[in-house]
Amino acid sequence: MNSQFDVIVFGATSFVGQILAQYLSDKFNHEGQESLNWAIAGRSQTKLDEVKATIKQPNLTTLIADAQDEVAIKAMCDQARVIISTVGPYALYGETLVKVCAESGTDYCDLTGEVQWINRMLLKYEDAAKASGAHIVHCSGFDSIPSDMGVYFTQKAAQKSFGEYCNTIAMRVKAAKGGASGGTIASMLNITEEVMKDPALRKDLVNPYLICPKDHGFKARQFDTRKPTFDKTFNGWTAPFIMAAINTRVVFRSNALAGNPYGTDFKYDEAMLVGKGFKGRLTATAIVAGLGAFFIGAAIKPTRWVLENYVLPKPGEGPSPKEQVEGYYDIRFAGKTPSGKEIRTKVIGQGDPGYGSTSQMLGQVGACLALDKDLLTDKEGGFWTTSTLLGDRLIERLEKDAQLKFEVIS
């Protein structure tokens, strides 16, 4: 395909899109760096011009497209090899772009964590992507790269050391510092609203294998941390990790797409480690109560209105530049093989998980799709995960240019 641009960032005016635009501006096309021919797109010329001015890229091309305007979206896709989308909530604004990319053979990545929407996109457009050759990669941010790539890394290390894969892996967030943006809150509130309108969706949301191919054959009952739980493996109290709802689904899809190398009874779960003793238990209890209050508040109209208007960040708002840089995360994996061998690994990232770090991860997924052409030649079109499509090459990129580190501890 002869496209004018390697990458177009659609939604460059969003909170995370602006950070991404700055990142691409810093990381590409200077001496000694990779060349990336990129442009930005959105629905407002004025706002796109402001982004250009902020990142000091006066010659950057801007394209105008509304997310619901299929003709404009098609015209944008015709000019790019890869579209990176930060226009969300994706369940509200994302479908036309996925449809056009899948039908036209344009590669695509995004930051969605909305599993119910991913499932709808799979059902509607997977055949089209397979036919056109488009590589569609959802979840290319904090959800779910550290989990998906962390499990991939852990399994490769286990295979190398023991000659077998783990059939159980537990992921624990040991430490994390960061905030939430209005766009992320809007996506979470939208899921709550969808469930209120269609209670049947609840069943989908608790299905760990929802986005696996229909013939996945997985039988294992998966464990979900929903209440304060003492974790013997990590010797501490755990609380629910809100991203587990999407990350675990992506990990199971990766296993299925790779041909079930970890086995059909592979077990994987995620939780937050919150400390030891009475204080740990108290913190876990407070987190469970806080999450419960948020979801109840979001489900009831008057409290939802108060949350949206007075408590939570609005679309376009999020952590400060200082918070984006100073944020971090430290994620641990404990794996066990069928013969009882154990492995511990970690993934650490510098930068606010959802924004400072997410924008770097997303930028590198886009660059990998656009520039590492040899990697994709034998990969047919379809809906991939980061680990199954980009594997080691993405880990190299993340470690070199996105401030992540993957390590075997023991």
The residue ranges that bind ligand NAP (CB under 6 A) are 11, 13-17, 42-44, 47, 66-68, 86-90, 93, 111, 113, 141-143, 181-184, 187, 315-316, 318, 354-355, 358
CB nearer ligand NAP, residue 141 or residue 363: 141
CB nearer ligand NAP, residue 36 or residue 111: 111
Which helix H or strand E contains 90, and what residues bound it? Answer: helix 90-93
CB nearer ligand NAP, residue 142 or residue 268: 142
Which helix H or strand E contains 20, and what residues bound it? Answer: helix 15-27
CB nearer ligand NAP, residue 47 or residue 393: 47
CB of 188 to ligand NAP, least distance (A): 8
Which helix H or strand E contains 236, and what residues bound it? Answer: strand 236-239
Pairing of strands 168-177, 229-231: unpaired
Smallest CA-to-CA distance from 39 within 2, 15, 7, 73 is with 7
Phi-psi region of 132 (alpha: psi -120 to 50; beta: other; left: phi over 0): alpha
CB of 88 to ligand NAP, least distance (A): 2
CB of 51 to ligand NAP, least distance (A): 9
CB nearer ligand NAP, residue 41 or residue 395: 41
Alpha-helix residue ranges (DSSP H) falling in 105-222 = 115-132, 145-162, 182-197, 201-205
CB nearer ligand NAP, residue 68 or residue 320: 68
The rounded distance, in Å, linking the Cα atoms of 177 and 239 is: 16
CB nearer ligand NAP, residue 361 or residue 395: 361
CB nearer ligand NAP, residue 99 or residue 267: 99
The rounded distance, in Å, linking the Cα atoms of 86 and 95 is: 13
For residue 105, the SS3 value is coil
CB of 394 to ligand NAP, least distance (A): 15
CB of 99 to ligand NAP, least distance (A): 15
CB of 232 to ligand NAP, least distance (A): 30
CB of 95 to ligand NAP, least distance (A): 11
Whether 281 and 228 have beta carbons less than 8 Å apart is answered as yes
The rounded distance, in Å, linking the Cα atoms of 172 and 334 is: 8
Whether 280 and 274 have beta carbons less than 8 Å apart is answered as yes
CB of 76 to ligand NAP, least distance (A): 10
Using CA atoms, how far residue 201 sits from 110, 204, 207, 317, in Å, is 23, 5, 10, 29
CB of 20 to ligand NAP, least distance (A): 9
Smallest CA-to-CA distance from 279 within 290, 270, 287, 271 is with 287
CB nearer ligand NAP, residue 108 or residue 237: 108
> Side by side, which strands form the sheet with 382-384?
62-64, 38-42, 5-10, 80-85, 107-110, 135-137, 382-384
